[in-house]
Amino acid sequence: MAVDVKVVLAGVGGQGAVLAGYVLAASAIKEGLSVRTYGDMGMSRRGGSVSSFVNIFDKEGTSATAVGTADLLVGLEPIEAVRYCKYLKEDGIVVVNSYLILPSTVGKKDRAELSEVENLLEFLKKNFKKTIVFDANKIACEINSLTTNIVMLGAAFSTGKIPVSTETFKQTLRDSFAPEIAEMNIEAFERGYDECNRK
Amino acid sequence: MAISNVAGNPGEKTLLLGNEAIARGFIEGGLRVAASYPGTPASEILNTLINVGDKYGIYTEWSTNEKVAAEVAISTAISGLRSMVSMKGVGVNVASEPFQAFSYMGTVGGIVLVSADDVGMHSSHTEQDNRFFAREAYLPIFEPPGPMGAHQMAKAALDFSEKWGQPVMFRTTTRIGHSAADITLGPVQKTKEKGEFKRDPNRWVNLPVNARRMRRELIERMEKIGEEVESIPFNQIVAEGDGQFGVISCGVTFNVVREAFKDLGLGDKIGLMKIGTPYPLPKKMVQQFLASNERVLIVEEVEPFVETQVKSLAHEGSLSTQILGKEHIPLAGESGPREVVMGLSQFMGMEPPNRFERADRIWKEAQALIPPRPPVLCPGCGHRTAFFAINVVEKKLGLKKEGGIVKPSDIGCYTLGYQSPLNAVDTNYCMGSSIGASSGFSHVIDNKIVCTIGDSTFFHSGIPPLLNAVYNKADINVVVLDNSTTAMTGFQPHPGVGTTATGQDTKCILIEDVARACGADTVDVVGSLDLDGLVEALEKAVNTSGVSVVVARQPCVLLDVRTRLKKGEKIKKYQVDQELCTKCELCLNLFGCPAFRKIDDVIDVDLALCNGCAACANILVCPQEAFKEVD
């Protein structure tokens, strides 16, 4: 069967959405597939909204993802998951970190109302076929707070939507990073995978 | 990035970012010199070449600005070697003059000006289409459809430039530069180390007597180039169609158009022509395509650059083909899958697919649930403290009543001082504009003026306006926000850092020395996190007439924390003592560190985000002094 999978990663600048997108893309190349990615850079350092689009295919594809066409949305933060969910198909899957990061530019009158994570999760559940929610920050912080992105990729792999084997992905981590960093991320990946495999 | 292997062996397949693919293309084309000034979306081209320059014998430099970078590259080309100069789209404005002149002279070695246009304005202040600049300067344009095409075209552009003795523009966009694809590496042409300058003043000195002759030669050269582009593979009639409808697509829209054909089920009914050299156009090929189609849609981003030329070619060839373009394809912003599908279905008289309705409804509902998340200054950033200090001084001196301090600013991370709650950026036009704008204001308004400019921007284009302010007796205060790097584009060094692009030690030029040399009336240097010191220095500056310069210096917190962690240092963090907190929210409403949060009526610090700058421990940020160091 032809491979044509579109993944959207969305998060807050500093969480590593773009880097995670690259590692995912590199792992797909290892399996002989083609990839096109597009990631935000430049004016989106710490604190801004950041996204990464990863399209994996075996014949033809583009880096541009139209609204309503993605198969999987990986939300590193719930507000950003909602911001980018328009790209997802109706029968697409959302994997979302429940840990909220409220923008510092939010004025005092909106602060309380916008802090309700449940509203955001309900919205995702209502609009898409399947929404998997878990606290990726809690898991990441037990390993290293910088591994949230890879915990989330572990969860994304557990949906079975990504046409790359977990072994190839772990090997890509080993090939791309220093041994201690790779091992830390492999642990993060496995923890995310196991946490959501049951959901 | 260890994930990609720009320096891999020929035949190897690797993930390359568009900008890395461009760099690799230049390497394969035997590049000798690469110069640039950092700017999104171009920065990664030179970053990549710096990392592998040693291996391939390429000299790389971060020049002080785009004009200087252009001059460095031009001298290489005149010496018979190959060079490239890359910059963000708006940087071409700065590099314009040398290229206007050099185009007349023509080149010896291949030379490519990379214009990375920011279509969609992801991180630029204009969406300008530099193909018009290239046309005006007689620079043939190579415009790739994506990272793979960019890889092939970068090498081809160097070859083409050398073959025809003409500098070339390589026009890319953010979408291409920041997309990544699996790319198969090609063989590398080895460069010579030394060039040769052949003295020829009648050519290299652009006195009018020479320029008049060279302009005529340039026009002849371009006519021949016009013939050549008929046969290069980047221009191509891809599909003949059934003679009714045809699309001419240029640049990044090409792959989007092909996807849209699939999406709309158009199959082989519709003709398709691909343009890789929008200037000069392959005239005969375009006219042939027009002659075989009744109606043609031109799909290109931003300005109707190809469109107007095609219309003129139709006129020249007495062709009655109906030509449409910007009637259906937007002038502003990127032309992504949606814009192209909509434009194409309008052009064909078809119903557009209805899946956008669902996406639109979801987006409308989503917007009601979520706040915008603009980029902001990082936790612990010295710029925040400096802007906060300016606001404190404004209040302390009672200036708010008199219309407040006018605060021109400039281009860099610190433009984010615009965001709430700081609101400390009143104007910003272009690189270096803060000081020139302040001079202008000081002659026509009574407000006190405090402008902000970053260190890299100061070296780029802040020095002539500072001299101007002193010379023309302006009464202004200039705060140089010195974080000792070019932060927003990824930590490139500049003359005030003490290292070159490749990490070699070099002279470190201090901004305070330059300011004194420019004749500033007072010059003070303060640590950006020393809130009390900043307030004192700013108060003095505002109360002194003439040109006062305050250098607020603190290494970029991201770099600083990274370096300290590597050394094994611990970062001291700060947390709110809930016993002392009165929930006045002044910290959130006036200072606004992104690490501060308020959940369930409790204000505290997200320790994962805190970078330990300690600014919050100052009584000016929290009157209760509730922020305490965490053990």
pLDDT per position as a tens digit, A24-73: 999 999 999 999 999 987 665 667 899 999 999 998 777 788 999 999 99
Q: What residues 178-197 of chain B have any CB closer than 8 A to a CB of chain A? A: 178-182
Q: What is the mean pLDDT of residues B233-253?
A: 96
Residue B406 has a pLDDT of: 98
Q: With a CB-CB cutoff of 8 Å, which residues 269-328 of chain B face chain A?
A: none
In chain B, positions 378-407, which contact chain A (CB-CB < 8 Å)?
378-379
Domain CATH code at residue A181: 3.40.920.10
Return the residue matching tokens 């004016």.
Answer: A43
* Secondary structure (3-state) at B479: strand
User: How many beta carbons lie within 10 A of that of residue B97, not counting itself?
Assistant: 13
Q: Is the Cβ pair B376, A47 closer than 8 Å? A: yes
Residues of chain B contacting residue A22, judged by C-beta atoms under 8 Å apart = 1, 3-4, 15, 180
Give the residue-averaged pLDDT of B193-212: 97
* Spatial separation of the C-alpha atoms in residues B202 and B210, rounded to whole Å: 6
| E-only strand ranges, B7-147 | 13-17, 33-36, 59-62, 83-88, 111-117, 141-142
User: Residue B359: closest CA among chain A residues belongs to which residue?
Assistant: A86
- How far, in Å, CA of B441 to CA of A68, rounded? 49
B-chain residues within 8 Å CB-CB of A110? Answer: 371
Give the chain B residue nearest A146 (alpha carbons).
B608
Tell whether B253 lies on the interface with A, counting CB pairs under 8 A.
no
- Kindly report, residue by residue over B142-190, the tens digit of the pLDDT: 999 999 999 999 999 999 999 999 999 999 999 999 999 999 999 999 9
Q: What angle do the packed helices A166-176 and A179-197 form, to 10 degrees? A: 160
Residues of A in contact with B151 (CB under 8 A): none
pLDDT tens per residue across span B544-571: 999 999 999 999 999 999 999 999 999 9
Chain A interface mutation, best of B257, B373, B602, highest count of A Cβ atoms under 10 Å: B373
Q: What are phi and psi of B50, to 5 degrees?
A: -60, -45
Residue A108 has pLDDT above 80, yes or no: no
Which residue stretches of B352-473 are H helix?
Answer: 355-369, 382-396, 433-444, 455-461, 463-471
pLDDT at B1: 42
Lowest mean pLDDT among A100-114, B31-45, B436-450: A100-114
Q: How many domains does chain A have?
A: 1
Question: Residue A136, Cα to own-chain centre: how many angstroms?
Answer: 11
The full set of domains in chain B, from first to last, is 13-230 (3.40.50.970), 235-357 (3.40.50.920), 382-564 (3.40.50.970), 570-629 (3.30.70.20)
Peptide bond into B408 cis (omega under 30): no
- Rounded to whole angstroms, how far apart are CA atoms B526 and B386? 10
Pick among B370, B415, B607 to test the A interface (most A CBs inside 10 A): B370
Q: What is the mean pLDDT of residues B314-336?
A: 97
Q: Would you give the DSSP letter of residue A25?
A: H
CB contact under 8 A, A67 and B376: no
B588–chain A Cβ distance below 8 A for any pair: yes
Percentage of chain B surpassing pLDDT 70?
A: 100
Taking alpha carbons only, the member of B68, B62, B67, B65 closest to residue B49 is B62
* Residue ranges of B 538-567 with Cβ closer than 8 A to chain A: 558
Q: Smallest CA–CA separation between B165 and chain A, in Å?
A: 35
Q: Are strands B245-250 and B574-576 parallel, antiparallel or unpaired?
A: unpaired
Q: What is the mean pLDDT of residues A109-126?
A: 87
Least confident of B219-223, B398-402, B491-495: B398-402
Split at pLDDT 50, 70, 90, the class of A110 is confident
Q: How far is A153 from chain B (nearest CA, A)?
A: 16
pLDDT-derived band at A14, boundaries 50, 70, 90: confident
CB B273 within 8 A of CB B237: yes
- In B, minimum Cα distance to A105 occurs at B420
Interchain proximity B2–A127, CB inside 8 Å:
no
Instruction: Name the residue of chain A whose CA is nearest to B607's CA.
Output: A145
pLDDT at residue B2 tops 80: no
Which one of B6, B14, B15, B254 would you mutate to disrupt binding with A, by most A Cβ within 10 Å of its Cβ? B15
The reply to whether ipTM tops 0.90 is yes
Q: Measured between beta carbons, which residues in chain A are less than 8 angstroms from residue B370?
A: 79, 82-83, 114, 120
pLDDT in tens, B504-550: 999 999 999 999 999 999 999 999 999 999 999 999 999 999 999 99
Of the ranges A78-92, B29-43, B349-363, which one carries the lowest mean pLDDT score? B349-363
Length reported for chain A: 199
Domain that holds residue A95: 4-197
Q: Are strands B13-17 and B33-36 parallel, antiparallel or unpaired?
A: unpaired
Q: Do B337 and A66 touch (CB under 8 A)?
A: yes
Q: Check whether B459 has a pLDDT greater than 60.
A: yes
User: How far apart (Å, rounded) are the C-alpha atoms in residues B130 and B390?
Assistant: 38
- Which SS3 state, helix, strand or coil, does residue B179 take? strand
Alpha-carbon distance of B239 to B331, in angstroms, equals 26
Three-class secondary structure of residue A120 per DSSP: helix
pLDDT digits (tens, 9 = 90+) for A151-181: 999 999 999 999 999 999 999 999 999 999 9
Residue A192 has pLDDT above 50, yes or no: yes
pLDDT tens figures, B603-621: 999 988 899 999 999 999 9
Q: How far apart are CA B325 and CA B234, in angstroms?
A: 21
Contact B93, B125 (CB under 8 A): no
Segments of B217-356 assigned E as strands: 236-239, 245-250, 271-275, 295-299, 322-324
B4 touches A: beta carbon within 8 Å: yes
In DSSP terms, which residues pair with B171 in a beta bridge?
A: B115
Looking up tokens 């020829």 gives B200
Are residues B592 and A105, on separate chains, in Cβ contact within 8 Å? yes
- If DSSP codes are grouped into helix, strand and coil, which group holds residue B34? strand
What residues contact residue B158 under an 8 Å CB cut-off, 6+ apart?
Answer: B26, B29, B30, B31, B82, B84, B110, B111, B112, B168
Interface of B with A in 194-223 (CB under 8 A): none
A vs B, Cβ pairs < 8 A, gives: 196
Residue of A nearest to B183 (CA): A34
Between B631 and B494, the higher pLDDT residue: B494
Nearest CA in chain A to B585: A108
Query: Residues B64, B65, B71, B77: what is their CA dihedral angle, to the nearest 10 degrees?
Result: 90
What is the mean pLDDT of the segment spanning B465-471?
98
- Output the average pLDDT for chain B: 96
Query: How far is Cα B405 from Cα B174, in angstroms, rounded to an integer?
Result: 36
Residues B521, B522, B523, B529: is their CA dihedral positive or negative? negative
3-state secondary structure (DSSP) of residue B127: coil
